[in-house]
């Protein structure tokens, strides 16, 4: 039986008020909405000349197993026989290879939260597309409180519905938080901000914009011989992960420099995502065997990382927020 290593990333799904960016605590039938969305039969067109749809959705108590079918099109490609190198056919712009991708969602019992285990494929469907289509699905089905989703949402009026926003955010790697907690001294905090989402004073807007990067760097340093609080930096990182303020939404990356007991240490949020490589079986056609990868995903959320995932997702929500002053 052939096997392959597949990269898997882990996310949290939550719901918040669009205006305050605070998580919604009251029961809105969060789990039922997710079940409806992943069961919905629709073809979604996204950028990069891709289409995707949810080919299957299996719901088993608190687990949702989803197979995504997707295809990339809009390019004339010649198909060859790799042994003879002879062209066998030409694929038209309306044709594309049928590919599949896997998602497993574990619904948590409280706080409108879920864990999402996502098969990462470099040329596949991105998490951002899932998030966008989820919110579009809700908007489509709650216009004037009509539709199936509207009857499922436990809200009092139209304004409540319009303010609801689902989000999907990274779960931090346990090693990152462990190393951060071990830091004895934090001497530099570098924050990389997206210029397209920020107002920049004219005196720092260079004329050669076509060669300027799309981000700028803010460097924070404590006074001489002092250190930033590890606890406050950790809260800042958690807010960045949760995207719970307009300020944190503008941040692209955070770099922390300091020392632990062994010496100098540099932590970078580019490596903060909780991701694992999982060995999974291939079927006779050379494709991922869905039953096998879902078994591994179930073991991951129900056994291997059960306590860590539940605690870290709820902790992100419960941590004190850093203000927008």
Q: Does 145 share its domain with 178?
A: no
Closest CA to 117 of 50, 66, 51: 66
277-285: long-range contacts at Cβ-Cβ below 8 A with a sequence spacing of 24 or more? 277/5, 277/6, 277/7, 277/8, 278/5, 278/6, 278/8, 279/3, 279/4, 279/5, 279/6, 280/3, 280/4, 280/5, 280/6, 281/1, 281/2, 281/3, 282/1, 282/2, 282/3, 282/4
Instruction: Based on the fold, state whether residues 155 and 290 are members of the same structural domain.
Output: yes
**What pLDDT is attached to residue 249?**
62
Q: Which of 271, 287, 320 is the last residue of a domain?
A: 271
pLDDT at 252: 74
pLDDT for the residue 143 = 59
Q: Which residues of 127-149 are buried (b: 16+ CB within 10 A; e: fewer)?
A: bebbbebbbebbeebbeeeeeeb
pLDDT at 52: 96
Q: Are residues 215 and 84 in the same domain?
A: no
Same domain, 181 and 164: no
Tell me, yes or no, whether 323 lies in a domain: no
Look at residue 315 and tell me if it is in a domain.
Answer: no
Strands (DSSP E) found in the chain? 3-17, 44-46, 50-60, 63-72, 77-80, 87-91, 99-107, 114-119, 164-170, 185-194, 215-220, 251-260, 263-268, 275-281
285 shares a domain with 224: no
pLDDT for 295: 97
| Per-residue pLDDT reduced to its tens digit, 179-200 | 888 888 899 988 888 776 665 5
The answer to the question of residue 47 being in a domain is: yes
- Is 312 a member of any domain? no
Within 8 A by CB and 6+ apart from 36, the residues are 148, 149, 152
Q: Say whether both 145 and 198 belong to one domain.
A: no
Per-residue pLDDT of the chain (325 residues; tens, 9 = 90+): 799 999 999 999 999 888 888 888 888 889 999 999 999 999 999 988 999 999 999 999 899 999 999 999 888 889 998 999 999 998 888 888 899 999 999 999 777 999 999 999 989 999 999 999 999 998 887 655 455 666 666 655 545 677 889 999 888 887 887 888 888 889 998 888 877 666 555 445 554 555 566 677 889 998 888 899 888 888 888 777 666 555 656 777 788 999 888 888 888 777 677 888 999 999 988 999 999 999 999 999 999 998 888 887 776 544 433 333 3
Same domain, 221 and 284: no
Per-residue pLDDT at 211: 58
Q: Are residues 188 and 70 in the same domain?
A: no
> Do 212 and 227 lie in a common domain?
yes
Residue 107 shares a structural domain with residue 236: no
241 and 215, same structural domain?
A: yes
| Domain of residue 83, residue span | 3-170+275-305
Could you report the per-residue pLDDT of 56-82, keeping only the tens digit for each? 999 998 999 999 999 998 888 899 989
pTM of the model: 0.75
Same domain? For 154 and 47 the reply is yes
């Amino acid at each position: 039986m052939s096997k392959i290593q597949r990269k898997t990333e882990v996310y949290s799904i939550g719901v918040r008020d669009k205006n305050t960016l605070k998580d919604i605590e009251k029961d809105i039938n969060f789990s039922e909405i997710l079940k409806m969305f992943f069961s919905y039969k629709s073809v979604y067109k996204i950028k990069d000349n891709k289409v995707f749809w949810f080919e299957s959705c299996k719901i088993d108590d608190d687990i949702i197993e989803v197979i995504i079918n997707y295809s990339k099109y809009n390019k004339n490609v010649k198909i060859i026989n790799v042994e003879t190198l002879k062209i066998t056919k030409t694929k038209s712009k309306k044709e594309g290879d049928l590919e599949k991708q896997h998602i497993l969602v574990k619904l948590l019992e409280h706080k409108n939260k879920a864990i999402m285990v996502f098969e990462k494929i470099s040329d596949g469907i991105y998490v951002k597309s899932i998030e966008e289509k989820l919110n579009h699905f809700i908007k489509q089905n709650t216009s004037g409180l009509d539709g199936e989703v509207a009857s499922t949402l436990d809200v009092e009026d139209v304004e409540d519905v319009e303010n609801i926003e689902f989000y999907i955010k990274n779960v931090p790697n346990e090693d990152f938080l462990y190393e951060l907690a071990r830091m004895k001294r934090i001497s530099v905090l570098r924050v990389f901000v997206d210029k397209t989402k920020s107002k920049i004073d004219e005196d720092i807007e260079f004329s050669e914009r076509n060669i300027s990067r799309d981000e700028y760097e803010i460097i924070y340093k404590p006074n001489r011989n002092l250190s930033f609080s590890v606890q406050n930096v950790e809260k800042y990182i958690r807010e960045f992960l949760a995207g719970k303020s307009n300020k944190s939404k503008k941040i692209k990356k955070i770099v922390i420099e300091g020392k632990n007991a062994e010496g100098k240490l540099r932590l970078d949020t580019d490596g903060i995502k909780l991701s694992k490589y999982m060995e999974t079986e291939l079927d006779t056609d050379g494709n991922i065997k869905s039953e096998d990868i879902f078994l591994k995903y179930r073991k991951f959320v129900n056994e291997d990382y059960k306590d860590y995932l539940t605690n870290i997702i709820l902790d992100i929500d419960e941590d004190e927020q850093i203000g927008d002053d």
